[in-house]
Structure 1
Amino acid sequence: MRTKKNIIKVGYLLSYDYKFIFNSIKQIYDFSDEIFICYDKDGKTWAGNAFEIPDNIFSKIRELDHQNKIIFYSDTFYVEKLSAIDLDTRQRNMLAQKMGKGGWHIQIDSDEYLVGFEKLAGFLRKQKYLLKSPEKTPVNFFVNFVTLFKQTEEGFFVISPFTESCFLITNVPKYTNARFPQNSFSLKLSVNNIHQSWARTQNEILQKINNWGHSTDFDTVDFYNKWDNLNQQNYTQFKNFHPIYPNDWQELKFIPAKSVEEFIVNFEKKYPQQEIEMPLKLKKRIKLYLKSLF
Structure 2
Amino acid sequence: MPIAYDCRYAYRSLEKIYDIADEVVLGIDRDRISWSGKPFEFDKVEFLTAVAAIDRRKIVRLVEDDFHSEPTPMANDAGERNKLSAHCRPGHWIIQIDSDEQAVNAKDFRTWLARADRTCDVQARWITVFKTFGDKCLVANEPDGRVSVGTTVPGIYRYARDTGQRKLPSNLLLLHFSWGRTRAELAQKLANWSHSADFDTGRFLQLWDTVTLENYPQFRDFHPLHPPLWSRLSLITLQAGQQATAAASAGSAAVLTA
Please tell me the TM-score bracket, short chain as reference: 0.7 to 0.9
For 1:89 and 1:177, the matched residues in 2 are separated by: 6
Q: 1:207 to 1:142 in 2, by over 3 A?
A: same
For 2:241 and 2:140, the matched residues in 1 are separated by: 15
Determine what percentage of the aligned residue pairs are the same residue: 30
For 2:62 and 2:207, the matched residues in 1 are separated by: 37
Given that 1:139 and 1:172 are in contact with CA atoms closer than 8 Å, whether structure 2 keeps it comes out as: no
Given that 1:27 and 1:114 are in contact with CA atoms closer than 8 Å, whether structure 2 keeps it comes out as: yes
Cα RMSD for the two superposed structures:
1.9
Are 2:236 and 1:246 equivalent residues in the alignment? no
Provide Cα deviations, 1:234-259, integer angstroms capped at 9, x if missing partner.
21111111111222211111123487
For 1:154 and 1:62, the matched residues in 2 are separated by: 28
Q: 1:31 to 1:96 in 2, by over 3 A?
A: same
For 1:232 and 1:210, the matched residues in 2 are separated by: 26
The alignment of Structure 1 onto Structure 2 pairs a total of residues equal to 242
Give the deviation of 1:62 after TM superposition. Answer: 1.2
Higher mean alpha-carbon deviation, 158-167 vs 114-123, is at 158-167
For 2:239 and 2:89, the matched residues in 1 are separated by: 40
Given that 1:89 and 1:178 are in contact with CA atoms closer than 8 Å, whether structure 2 keeps it comes out as: yes
Given that 2:220 and 2:230 are in contact with CA atoms closer than 8 Å, whether structure 1 keeps it comes out as: yes
Partner of residue 69 from structure 1, selected from 38, 41, 59: 59
Aligned to 1:28: 17
Aligned to 1:273: none
For 2:185 and 2:240, the matched residues in 1 are separated by: 17
Aligned to 1:117: 106
Q: 1:108 to 1:169 in 2, by over 3 A?
A: same
Give the deviation of 1:162 after TM superposition. Answer: 7.3
Aligned to 2:201: 220
What amino acid maps onto 2:171 in structure 1? S
5 Å-filtered alignment, 1:117-196, equals 117-127=106-116, 138-153=119-134, 155-161=136-142, 163-173=144-154, 174-183=156-165, 185-196=166-177
Give the deviation of 1:262 after TM superposition. Answer: 5.6
* SS of equivalent to 1:177: coil
For 1:222 and 1:190, the matched residues in 2 are separated by: 35
Are 2:37 and 1:48 equivalent residues in the alignment? yes
* SS of equivalent to 2:242: helix
Provide Cα deviations, 1:106-147, integer angstroms capped at 9, x if missing partner.
0111111111101111222234xx55xxxxxx2111111111
Q: 1:249 to 1:101 in 2, by over 3 A?
A: same
When you count helix as a share of all residues, which structure comes out higher?
1
Give the deviation of 1:157 after TM superposition. Answer: 0.9
What amino acid maps onto 2:123 in structure 1? F
For 2:114 and 2:172, the matched residues in 1 are separated by: 16
Given that 2:100 and 2:176 are in contact with CA atoms closer than 8 Å, whether structure 1 keeps it comes out as: yes
* SS of equivalent to 2:77: helix
Q: 1:228 to 1:75 in 2, by over 3 A?
A: same
Q: 1:259 to 1:148 in 2, by over 3 A?
A: farther
What amino acid maps onto 1:171 in structure 2? T
For 1:89 and 1:154, the matched residues in 2 are separated by: 33
Give the deviation of 1:191 after TM superposition. Answer: 2.3
For 1:150 and 1:192, the matched residues in 2 are separated by: 18
For 1:171 and 1:213, the matched residues in 2 are separated by: 24
Higher mean alpha-carbon deviation, 41-50 vs 250-259, is at 250-259
Are 2:208 and 1:210 equivalent residues in the alignment? no
Where does structure 2 lack aligned partners over 5 or more consecutive residues? 245-258
Provide Cα deviations, 1:125-176, integer angstroms capped at 9, x if missing partner.
234xx55xxxxxx211111111111112352111125741111011223011
For 1:104 and 1:58, the matched residues in 2 are separated by: 25
Are 2:83 and 1:102 equivalent residues in the alignment? no
TM-score between the two structures when normalised by the length of structure 2: 0.88
For 2:46 and 2:181, the matched residues in 1 are separated by: 21
* SS of equivalent to 2:58: coil
